[in-house]
Amino acid sequence: MKGIFITFEGGEACGKTTQLKLLQQYFKEKGTDALFVREPGGTALGESVRHLLLTNEDIQMCGKTELLLFMASRTELYEKTIKPALDAGRIVVADRYYDSTVAYQGSARGVMDMEDVLSLNLKFLDGLKPDLTVYLKIAPKEAFLRKENMPLDKMEREGLTFHQKVADGYDYMVQKHPDRFIVIDATQSIEDIHKQIVTAVEKLATKSQESEN
């Protein structure tokens, strides 16, 4: 695969959408072609699954089913969108990817050992790992304050203990894969965080250009 694959991770309200919009704008101004996708979703099937998982109040499911639905949505997005774009040499940026399943269904829900969640995902995704994962780190307590007056989805309504375990899951992944992750303190200003993301992305783009030449 010739493209560059970047994923954004972190708990609720850490600032992923905010930063993705800024990065999208940055690429647009530079005339850099990049494809932005979101999880779960990004395909017709994925958007339906997203509704089941996050907004449909009538449907409750066990943790294992939840894990499988997130993986189904991701597999569809990978096959239909991510893989073809990377094969065509494009930059692909994803709002969440499999580290979310490790953190939410593995660590927080305790459905399965985190390593097993990871290897199960990789089996469905051609073993492909992101070139860079931007982890926006914030204490759940602090992140919750940002969503005080906003409507919350099913995952966001889980308590602080759940979200602390999500954070622990991310910390575990960072420890296991220090090369792929950059950890950014998400309590900084939106602009400062953006600058750090741009620096990391530029560094990655240069590295990938050098290896092509």
Ligand X SMILES: Nc1ncnc2c1ncn2[C@@H]1O[C@H](COP(=O)(O)OP(=O)(O)O)[C@@H](O)[C@H]1O
C-alpha separations of 155 from 40, 50, 59 in Å: 12, 11, 13
Structure tokens, 162: 């759940």
Distance, CA of 187 to CA of 142 (rounded, Å): 8
Distance, CA of 118 to CA of 30 (rounded, Å): 35
When binding is defined by CB under 6 A, the residue of 59, 61, 160, 190 that contacts ligand X is 190
In the bound state with ligand X, the residue whose beta carbon lies nearer, of 12 and 76, is: 12
In the bound state with ligand X, the residue whose beta carbon lies nearer, of 14 and 34, is: 14
Q: Pick the closest to residue 55 from 152, 172, 167 (CA basis).
A: 152
| Among the residue ranges 15-23, 82-90, 102-110, 119-127, the one whose residues contact Mg ion (CB under 5 A) | 15-23
Q: How far is the CB of 113 from ligand X (least distance, A)?
A: 26
When binding is defined by CB under 5 A, the residue of 2, 17, 110, 141 that contacts Mg ion is 17
- Sign of the alpha-carbon dihedral angle for 123, 112, 52, 21: negative
Interaction of residue 12 with ligand X, rule CB under 6 A: yes
Q: How many residues bind ligand X (CB under 6 A)?
A: 12
Under the rule (CB under 6 A), what is the footprint of ligand X? 10, 12-18, 146, 189-190, 193
